[in-house]
């Protein structure tokens, strides 16, 4: 079990990594870990560049009230709470405006690529939630259902959100999703994109040990 200090260190480490990789800008993006045993939500604060974060600045919330941390919690904690409440198997959530994924959110489009084996195994599809006002409970409208079946979702006209049992995994899912969408965007400039034949797609999703279908069978 992680201590208070270890959880804060983990959040600072991955917040800085996201900053280095260009997956958050100075004004947005937040990551959280939910310590279920002690009912504490650890989340990055608002209004600070992620590369300037320290352990003391991480906000700790209990029942929606901040009990620790030098800076005020992100206003998007409602999104993290809703996502992690809907996924009892998960301990971490990452919300960013990663450009290639968020471009689809601006178009209010679900992502249903059929050209990528990575996409097939990790996601199969990425749903886009309807628009909800940031900073209000509406930001989490529809999240319960969507996040139950997907580790990565889009928030219309806003950004994206991942959940996972560990923060390392949640960040990795975001990185993988963003990379696939970047490659897809490049591929569109080269020529006609070829989809994986439907039969092969189904077989891969059904039989590959790391596929989403098989991961979900094992964890539920």
Helix orientation angle between 212-219 and 198-207, rounded to the nearest 10 degrees: 30
Nearer to Zn ion, 135 or 165 (CB): 135
- Which stretch of DSSP H or E encloses residue 37? none
Nearer to Zn ion, 132 or 159 (CB): 159
Q: What per-residue string of b and e applies to 81-98 under the rule 16 or more CB within 10 Å gives b?
A: bbbbebbeebbbbbbbbb
User: How far is residue 83 from each of residues 20, 91, 148, 161, 181, measured CA to CA in Å?
Assistant: 25, 10, 9, 9, 23
**Residue of 173, 180, 152 lying closest to 18 (CA atoms):** 173
Smallest distance from the beta carbon of 41 to Zn ion, in angstroms?
A: 17
CA distance linking residue 53 with residue 58, whole number of Å: 8
Binders of Zn ion among 15-34, rule CB under 5 A?
Answer: 28
Q: Which of 159, 160, 162, 212 binds Zn ion (CB under 5 A)?
A: 159
> Per CB under 5 A, which region of 142-150, 151-159, 164-172, 203-211 contacts Zn ion?
151-159
Nearer to Zn ion, 26 or 197 (CB): 26
Nearer to Zn ion, 158 or 212 (CB): 158
Tell whether residue 132 is a contact of Zn ion (CB under 5 A).
no
Smallest distance from the beta carbon of 175 to Zn ion, in angstroms?
A: 18
Smallest distance from the beta carbon of 97 to Zn ion, in angstroms?
A: 6
* Positions in the binding site for Zn ion (CB under 5 A): 28, 159
């Amino acid at each position: 079990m992680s201590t208070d200090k270890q959880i804060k260190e983990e959040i600072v480490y991955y917040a800085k990594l996201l900053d280095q990789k260009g997956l958050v800008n100075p004004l947005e993006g937040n990551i959280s870990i939910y310590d279920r045993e002690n009912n504490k939500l650890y989340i990055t604060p608002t209004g600070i560049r992620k590369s300037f974060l320290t352990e003391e600045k991480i906000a700790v919330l209990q029942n929606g009230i901040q009990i620790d941390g030098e800076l005020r919690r992100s206003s998007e904690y409602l999104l993290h709470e809703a996502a992690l409440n809907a996924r009892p198997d998960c301990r971490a959530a990452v919300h960013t405006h990663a450009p290639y994924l968020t471009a689809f959110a601006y178009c209010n489009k679900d992502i249903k690529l059929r050209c990528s084996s990575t996409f097939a195994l990790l996601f199969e599809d990425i749903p886009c939630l309807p628009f909800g006002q940031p900073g209000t409970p509406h930001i989490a409208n529809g999240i319960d259902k969507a996040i139950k079946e997907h580790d990565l979702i889009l928030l219309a006209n806003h950004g994206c959100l991942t959940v996972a049992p560990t923060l390392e995994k949640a960040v990795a899912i975001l990185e993988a999703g963003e990379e696939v969408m970047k490659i897809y965007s490049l591929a569109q400039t080269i020529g006609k994109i070829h989809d994986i034949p439907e039969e092969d797609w189904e077989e891969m999703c059904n039989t590959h040990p790391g596929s989403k279908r098989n991961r979900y069978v094992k964890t539920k």
